[in-house]
Amino acid sequence: MVSVKVVALAGVVSFATAAGAADMPPPYHHIPMPPIEEYAAAWYLRGDIGMTNQRFKGLDYIRFPQTADLEWLDRGGFDSGWTFGIGVGYQFNHWLRADVTGEYRGKTAFHALDRVLSVPQTNEYTASKSEWLALANVYADLGTWWNLTPFVGAGVGFSRNTIHHFRDINVPQNGVAFAETASKWNVAWALHAGLAYKVNPNLTFEFAYRYVSLGDAKTGPLTNYLGVTINEPMHFKNITSHDLRLGLRWMLDAGPAYHQPISLPPLMRRG
């Protein structure tokens, strides 16, 4: 009889223990996660279009110093033109990125005018110019507010400057000289500043200003209307440009969205 009471008592205790355990909250779970990152590191593709506003130091020719009474009526300039570029880059973190770009800068017309007082005569110069430009760029993103990110950057690379259809027309003397198309490679560099708008984790639009130094350009050897070739080109010195550009960046893998570490609250359950 005693053993039966002991067994019964043990069963009651076991049941009460199990019932109490059912009312206990589950263990406290802490799930660590990486801290918030505005951008996950990823590769991106980019494309840009823009308009140029070009300057140069002036024309240089071997015979200019021999003409003491040469006077420039118009030292010359280039019209505005279009640029088209593509590139590939890498976003290292929320503030640093870099890319390599290739760009074609379309043909722009050139005009200049001088006169020689002792003859007298004038010379009207016409041509067009285009470039292929390759740059390696690095940018600093300066913070993001409402998906808008101002940025600055710098780049260095090479420019292939080409002068097309050069003409030197001397109306008073019924003379003309011309030169074949020629190209010149130069070291180029650029400074960037702009504003980016992040449409979604993959797509970002940019509006940017760029100052770019393109180096020099030259024509082929000059030939006059009698067919006599003077084995010296005309030089265009120190070409620069103030560019306005619209671009887009497409992230190839935006990565996961990161959040602050969270902890699950205890689950209270009542029987």
Q: Tell me how many domains the chain contains.
A: 1
Q: What is the pLDDT of residue 255?
A: 56
For residue 218, being part of any structural domain is answered with yes
| 8 A C-beta contact, residue 53 and residue 80 | yes
Q: Is residue 17 part of a domain?
A: no
User: Which position has the token pair 């209307």?
Assistant: 225
Q: Is residue 174 included in any domain, yes or no?
A: yes
109 in a structural domain:
yes
Antiparallel, parallel or unpaired: β 96-116 and 70-78: antiparallel
Taking the C-alpha atoms of residue 130 and residue 15, their distance in angstroms, rounded to an integer, is: 91
DSSP secondary structure letter of residue 257: P
28 domain-assigned? no
CA 144 – CA 146 distance, rounded (Å): 7
What's the domain range around 225? 35-253
Asked if the structure places residue 97 within a domain, the reply is: yes
Q: Where are the beta strands (DSSP E) in the chain?
A: 29-31, 42-51, 54-55, 58-60, 70-78, 82-91, 96-116, 121-141, 148-170, 175-179, 182-198, 203-218, 222-224, 229-230, 235-251, 262-264
Burial class for 134, CB neighbours closer than 10 Å (0-12, 13-18, 19+): middle
CATH number of the domain that 199 lies in?
2.40.160.20
Q: What is the pLDDT along the chain (271 residues), one digit of tens a residue?
A: 444 444 444 454 454 454 444 455 555 455 555 444 445 689 999 999 999 999 999 898 887 766 677 888 898 999 999 999 999 999 999 899 999 999 999 999 999 998 888 778 888 999 999 999 999 999 999 999 999 999 999 999 999 999 999 999 988 777 888 999 999 999 999 999 999 999 999 999 999 999 999 999 999 999 888 778 877 899 999 999 999 999 999 999 765 544 444 444 555 555 4
- pTM summary value: 0.77
Position 101 in a domain: yes
Domain assignment present for residue 24? The answer is: no
For 120-130, b/e burial (b = at least 16 CB within 10 A) is: eebbbbbbbbb
